[in-house]
Structure 1
Amino acid sequence: MPRATKIVATLGPASSAPEVLERMILAGVDVVRLNFSHGTADDHIARANVVREVAKAAGKSVAIMADLQGPKIRVGKFEGGHTELVAGQQFILDASSNDLGNHERVGLDYKELPRDVRPGDILLLNDGLLKLVVNTVRADAVHTTVVAGGPLSNNKGINKAGGGLTAPALTAKDMEDIKTAMAFQCEYLAVSFPKSATDMEMARQLANVAGQQWRHRPALIAKIERIEAIPALESILRASDGIMVARGDLAIEVGNAAVPALQKRMIKMARELDRVVITATQMMESMIHNPVPTRAEVSDVANAVLDGTDAVMLSAETATGKYPVETIEQMAAIALEAESAEDSSIDTDFADKRFERIDQSIAMGALFTAHHLGCKAIVALTESGSTALWMSRHNVKVPIFGLTSQPFSERRMALYRNVRPLLMNSCSDRDDALAQAEALLIESGALRPGDTYAITCGEPMGHPGGTNMLKVCRVG
Structure 2
Amino acid sequence: MQKFSDTSVGMWSKPTVRRKTKIVCTVGPSTNTREMIWKLAEAAMNVARMNMSHGDHASHKKVIDLVKEYNAQSKDNTIAIMLDTKRGVSTPTCASVNYDDFVNDVEAGDMLLVDGGMMSFMVKSKTKDSVKCEVVDGGELKSRRHLNAEEKVQRYLQPLDWEDIKFGVENKVDFYAVSIVKDAQVVQELKNYLKGCGVDIHVIVKIESADSIPNLHSIITASDGAMVARGDLGAKLPIEEVPILQGKIINLCRSMGKAVIVATNMLESMIVHPTPTRAEVSDIAIAVREGADAVMLSGETAHGKFPLKAAGVMHTVALRTEATITTSSEMPANLGQAFKKGEEIVIVQSGSQPIWRSQSTHNIQVRKV
Give the shorter-chain TM-score range: 0.7 to 0.9
- Would the aligned equivalents of 1:133 and 1:146 in 2 still touch at CA under 8 Å? yes
Correspondence for 1:61 among 78, 81, 86:
78
Shift of 1:33: 0.8
Alpha-carbon displacement from aligned partner over 1:249-272 (angstroms, at most 9, x marks no partner):
222122322211111100100010
Correspondence for 2:193 among 206, 217, 222:
206
Alpha-carbon displacement from aligned partner over 1:403-456 (angstroms, at most 9, x marks no partner):
9xxxxxx7xx5147xxxx9xxxxxxxxxxxxxxxxxxxxxxxxxxxxxxxxxxx
AA matched with 1:17: T
Alpha-carbon spacing, 1:348–1:209, altered in 2? closer, same or farther (3 Å):
closer
Correspondence for 2:322 among 339, 349, 365:
339
Correspondence for 1:179 among 154, 166, 183:
166
Name 1:77's counterpart in structure 2. Answer: 90
Q: Counterpart of 2:82 in 1: which secondary structure?
A: strand
Name 1:51's counterpart in structure 2. Answer: 67
Correspondence for 1:12 among 4, 28, 33:
28
Alpha-carbon spacing, 1:149–1:66, altered in 2? closer, same or farther (3 Å):
closer
Structure 2 residue 152 is the aligned partner of structure 1 residue 164: yes
Correspondence for 1:465 among 355, 361, 367:
361
Matches within 5 A, 1:406-417: 414-415=355-356
Alpha-carbon displacement from aligned partner over 1:214-271 (angstroms, at most 9, x marks no partner):
xx22111011112111111110111100011111222212232221111110010001
Q: Counterpart of 1:291 in 2: which secondary structure?
A: coil
CA distance in 2, matches of 1:347, 1:301: 15
Name 2:40's counterpart in structure 1. Answer: 24
Alpha-carbon spacing, 1:41–1:296, altered in 2? closer, same or farther (3 Å):
same
Name 2:12's counterpart in structure 1. Answer: none
Structure 2 residue 353 is the aligned partner of structure 1 residue 401: no
Shift of 1:389: 4.0
Name 2:57's counterpart in structure 1. Answer: 41
Q: Counterpart of 2:141 in 1: which secondary structure?
A: strand
Name 1:326's counterpart in structure 2. Answer: 309
Q: Please, what TM-score do these two structures have when normalized by structure 2?
A: 0.83
Q: Counterpart of 2:86 in 1: which secondary structure?
A: coil
- Would the aligned equivalents of 2:291 and 2:331 in 1 still touch at CA under 8 Å? no
Alpha-carbon displacement from aligned partner over 1:268-324 (angstroms, at most 9, x marks no partner):
000100100011111111111111111111111111111100000011111111111
AA matched with 1:318: T
- Higher RCO, 1 or 2 (CA under 8 Å, sep at least 6)? 2
Q: Counterpart of 2:187 in 1: which secondary structure?
A: helix
Q: Which moved more, 1:38-47 or 1:169-178?
A: 38-47
Q: Which moved more, 1:52-61 or 1:305-314?
A: 52-61
Alpha-carbon displacement from aligned partner over 1:200-226 (angstroms, at most 9, x marks no partner):
01111222233x2xxx22111011112
Please identify the structure whose Cα radius of gyration is greater: 1
Q: Gaps (5+ residues) in structure 1?
A: 83-101, 351-363, 368-377, 393-399, 404-409, 422-462, 469-476
CA distance in 2, matches of 1:69, 1:144: 23
CA distance in 2, matches of 1:108, 1:325: 32
Correspondence for 1:380 among 318, 322, 338:
338
Structure 2 residue 138 is the aligned partner of structure 1 residue 149: yes
Alpha-carbon spacing, 1:310–1:204, altered in 2? closer, same or farther (3 Å):
same
Q: Gaps (5+ residues) in structure 2?
A: 1-16, 365-369
CA distance in 2, matches of 1:32, 1:10: 6
CA distance in 1, matches of 2:55, 2:298: 15
Correspondence for 2:285 among 282, 288, 302:
302
Alpha-carbon spacing, 1:175–1:341, altered in 2? closer, same or farther (3 Å):
same
AA matched with 2:69: E
Shift of 1:150: 3.1
Q: For the aligned residues, what is the CA RMSD?
A: 3.1
CA distance in 1, matches of 2:23, 2:116: 24
More strand, by proportion: 1
Identity %: 35
Shift of 1:169: 4.2
CA distance in 2, matches of 1:347, 1:278: 17
Shift of 1:46: 2.9
- Would the aligned equivalents of 1:123 and 1:160 in 2 still touch at CA under 8 Å? yes
AA matched with 1:28: A
Count how many residue pairs are aligned between Structure 1 and Structure 2: 347
Alpha-carbon displacement from aligned partner over 1:30-75 (angstroms, at most 9, x marks no partner):
11112222333333333212102213434302111121113xxx6x
Alpha-carbon spacing, 1:324–1:272, altered in 2? closer, same or farther (3 Å):
same
Shift of 1:133: 2.8
Shift of 1:120: 3.5
Name 2:250's counterpart in structure 1. Answer: 267
